[in-house]
Structure 1
Amino acid sequence: MLLRLVRRLGAATAVATLFALATPLTAEAAVPATIPLRITNNSGRTDPVYVYDLGTQLSTGRQGWADATGTFHAWPAGGNPPTPAPDASIPGPAAGQSTTIRMPKFSGRIYFSYGQKLVFKVTTGGLVQPAVQNPSDPNRDILFNWSEYTLNDSGLWLNSTQVDMVSAPYAVGVQRSDGSTVTTGHLKSGGYTGFFNALRGQAGGWANLVQTRSDGTVLRALSPGHGLETGALPSTVMDDYVNRVWQKYATTTLTVTPFADTPAKYYGRVSGNVMNFTNSAGAVVTSFQKPDADSIFGCHKYLDAPNDQVRGPISRTLCAGFNRSTLLVNANQPDTTSAAFYQDTVTNQYARRLHAQMADGKAYAFAFDDVGNQESLVNDGSPQQAYLTLDPLS
């Protein structure tokens, strides 16, 4: 069973990035304490780049940051209100150049920013990460982005993420022990501008997700979950689709087979405001309240997905089906035929527009975009080197 990144990130939270990890059944080749991360600046921008490696040290569970050599530094105690964090920035590469740093065994994030250093603070509960859906966040007018990774004794999992926002584009990669390299996260030529143009042209409030600076610079598009939070998207944006799903499965059975390598199936039927799932013996194993848009876009609340073997896998399948709008066209889920994704008029338009602009079609547009292997993730059990490539904003 491959280790999966279960990504339920809230950028507004004052906790370190957390990953729920499934223990592999077989041991991989020994992974050193640190591996090199080669950062290449192909952005074409001339302003300075600042890099940060922040996360949780896996051997101790402590939160902190790593310097360019991969040496761990714990955050200070912090306070309430939050106090300034130590400057954890690493000088990034100039335009057309590359810089190599060392990644330690972390579950965390690689942040990078253009032109200005990011503002981090520490509370008694841990690190306060940027939350640019808040107009008063000190990082609101800074162009930045981040990648997420876990490096442990079983290998490296490194992704490009758009769960919280689409901003300064980048790709990730890993060199394997046989010398081959795999990459993901690149946009098509013109894809960055194409995404924002498409989102701005999408009716129903989706254009309101785009944030710009006072000088007109496009900074990012917030995820639809954050759009609900700020009022950019109406809370009813998914209601029509949910109502049609609920109507269909009041008289039809939804069959969920959450694991491709096991035969377990679960059968969903709607009764009133609840969809009950039974196992092959007819026993109810879990139930879901009729979800709202926030539950769908965040894959939480009414679609909470605990790290178990029943409710969590069913929930993540439902989450993917709602976001991709495949539940009405296929009563057997998950639907992994990407040609059927996002075809309903009511769908996650942010995810639809993003995937359409990716060079390989892969992205992490919502928390369980890995259902059906649609995520922008690289993984290797014996990584020789990792890569982060800053791409043009065009």
Structure 2
Amino acid sequence: MLSRITLTLRIAGAAALAGALLSLGPPAQAAVPDTIPLKITNNSGRGEALYVYNLGTQLTTGRQGWADANGTFHAWPAGGNPPTPAPDASIAGPAAGQSATIRMPKFSGRVYFSYGQKLDFRLTTGGLVQPAVQNPTDPNRNILFNWSEYTLNDSGLWLNSTQVDMFSAPYAVGVQRADGTTVSTGHLKAGGYTGFFNALRGQPGGWANLVQTRSDGTVLRALAPLYGVETGALPANVMDDYVNRVWQKYATTTLTVTPFADQPATKYYGRVSGGVMNFTNGSGAVVTSFQKPDAASIFGCHRLLDAPNDAVRGPISRTLCAGFNRSTLLVNPNQPDTTTANFYQDTVTNHYARKIHAQMADGKAYAFAFDDVGQQESLVHDGSPRQAYLTLDPLN
């Protein structure tokens, strides 16, 4: 297991979350300026100093670096092995109850924020390494922090709130459209922050082990279940019972996957034979196959559920990943199932994702990498953005 994760274009997702998706979109109605304002409002109620970072890849050059408060790009210097300290890219954030505005350049990157202490970033020969708090020796382990992911390009802005890697200090994102209207997502229900942690601690089966606290009792975060499995906090067989039932069902029943909402005629048909789920097209030809996935593959939407950026396997795998995490594969042989009432109803499911969605004011979240299947993601987009918003919410 890597102790830290190298940032290239890991947008979102543990991320690949909205990664490739964030860069897609219709042509902008008007030219998108080189930078747009990001208004940061600190409604956290916390008295510590706030530090903000805007890190990413400059889309015009492909270079990695950071942006200062004015949106000016600074390339990272060469790193080393072992990693060397990165330049201090922090921006002083607004105090509690205050707002401040910085400029966002055309990046594919992340806006980090931390309370009370600056984050420790390092550079390797391959680029920036980021906090990986599943590692007990990571220097950022005891810092309360979080991040949002975004892409700003000539087609507009995509900005999300994400819990793909962890659930921590809450925030919401928003965008002001060209017509002056504003949309936002990511706010928790009243009491949703402590409500989530209380619910996770009350879930049997090892889920409480995902919660990390500081020695002073401060709750810092809950790790995503992929990291729980990788670190042994969550049993590696936590999804086995459900997977076995799915494999048993589709040995005698056909699983129909319609991966593109705008292409209802494109369908693939899955059947389990010899322990392998084979998918055929309308002509009966096998187009891709999947071994029985383990929990790490399901929670990470990778490995045995790898989703390459192609036209067949990737879209089928995305659909399967959503079905396994939401436990909809047994209740509906036609996937993706977009009926939210069917989500997370099995006793074996991604309880981390279930409890996050239950606490969101609009029900939307990026609780696993392909939570955008069926448009359940917490994402705002506009082709001609006037302004973006990052609102830090109370930890209660």
Residue 29 (structure 1) shift:
2.0
Give the match for residue 168 of structure 1. Answer: 169
Indicate whether 1:12 and 2:4 are aligned: yes
Aligned pair count?
Answer: 385
For 2:365 and 2:7, how far apart are their aligned partners in 1?
24
Residues 132 and 243 of structure 1: CA distance in aligned 2, closer, same or farther (over 3 Å): same
The answer (yes or no) to whether the contact 1:238–1:292 under 8 Å persists in 2 is yes
TM-score when scaled to structure 1? Answer: 0.96
SS in structure 2 of the partner of residue 294 of structure 1: helix
Structure 1 spans left out of the alignment, 5+ residues: 1-9
Deviation at 1:393, TM superposition (A): 0.1
Partner of 1:371 in structure 2? Answer: 373
Cα deviation, 1:327-356, whole Å, max 9, x if unaligned, reads 000000000000110000000000000000
Letter of the structure 1 residue corresponding to residue 79 of structure 2: G
- Match in the other structure for 2:300: 298
CA contact (8 A) 2:187 2:393 kept: yes
Matched, 1:148 2:152: no
Match of 1:41 in 2: 42
Q: 1:23 deviation in Å?
A: 4.7
2:346 maps to 344
In 2, the alpha carbon distance for the partners of 1:53 and 1:211 equals 25
Whole-Å separation in 1 of the counterparts to 2:129 and 2:364: 29
Quick one: distance in 1 between partners of 2:306 and 2:3? 18
Q: Distance in 2 between matches of 1:261 and 1:115?
A: 47
RMSD value over aligned CA atoms? 1.1
Residue among 266, 269, 274 paired with 1:267: 269
1:385 is aligned, of 372, 375, 387, to: 387
Q: Distance in 2 between matches of 1:230 and 1:275?
A: 29
- Compute the displacement of 1:26 (Å): 4.1
Tell me the residue number matched to 1:319. 321
Percent identity reads 83
Distance 1:40 1:82 in 2: 33
- What is the alpha-carbon distance in structure 2 between the residues aligned to residue 41 and residue 162 of structure 1? 19
Matched residue, 2:193:
192
Letter in 2 for 1:140: R
Q: 1:69: which partner in 2?
A: 70
Partner of 1:226 in structure 2?
A: 227
Question: Residue 113 and residue 26 in structure 1: after superposition, are their counterparts in 2 closer, same or farther (change >3 A)?
Answer: closer
Letter in 2 for 1:17: L
Return 265-274 or 313-322, whichever deviates more.
Answer: 265-274
Structure 2 CA distance, aligned partners of 1:231 and 1:322?
Answer: 21
Residues 11, 129 of structure 1: 8 Å contact kept: no
User: Which amino acid counterpart does residue 342 of structure 1 have in structure 2?
Assistant: Y
Distance 2:350 2:230 in 1: 16
Q: In 2, Cα distance between the equivalents of 1:11 and 1:39?
A: 31
Q: Any idea what SS the aligned residue of 2:194 has?
A: helix
Please give the per-residue CA displacement for 1:159-206, whole angstroms capped at 9, x wherever unaligned.
Answer: 000000000000000000000000000000000000000000000000
Question: 2-side partners of 1:273 and 1:357: how far apart?
Answer: 38
Question: For residue 359 of structure 1, what is the aligned residue in structure 2?
Answer: 361
Q: 1:129 offset after TM fit, Å?
A: 0.2
Distance in 2 between residues matched to 1:15 and 1:375, nearest whole Å: 22
Note if contact 2:163-2:366 (Cα within 8 Å) is conserved in structure 1: yes
Which one-letter code corresponds to 2:45 in the other structure? G
Equivalent residue number for residue 7 of structure 1: none
How far apart, in 2, do the equivalents of 1:86 and 1:270 lie? 53
- Kept in 1: contact 2:26–2:383 (CA 8 A): no
AA aligned to 1:224 is P
- Give distance in 1, aligned partners of 2:89 and 2:218: 26
C-alpha change, 1:27 and 1:385, in structure 2 (3 Å) is closer
CA distance in 2, matches of 1:26, 1:92: 33
Query: How far, CA to CA, are the matches of 2:3 and 2:160 in structure 1?
Result: 16
TM-score (norm 2): 0.96
Alignment check: 8 A CA contact 1:326 1:341 kept = yes
How much has 1:229 moved relative to structure 2?
A: 1.2
Residue of structure 1 equivalent to 2:15? none
Instruction: Tell which deviates more after alignment, 326-335 or 27-36.
Output: 27-36
Q: Which stretch of structure 1 is more off in the superposition, 271-280 or 365-374? A: 271-280
CA distance in 1, matches of 2:121, 2:53: 11
1:119-168 Cα deviation digits (max 9, x unpaired): 00000000010000000000000000000000000000000000000000
- Kindly indicate whether the alpha-carbon contact (under 8 Å) linking 1:306 and 1:312 is maintained by their aligned counterparts in 2: yes
C-alpha separation in 1, matches of 2:61 and 2:133: 30
Aligned residue identity for 1:233: L
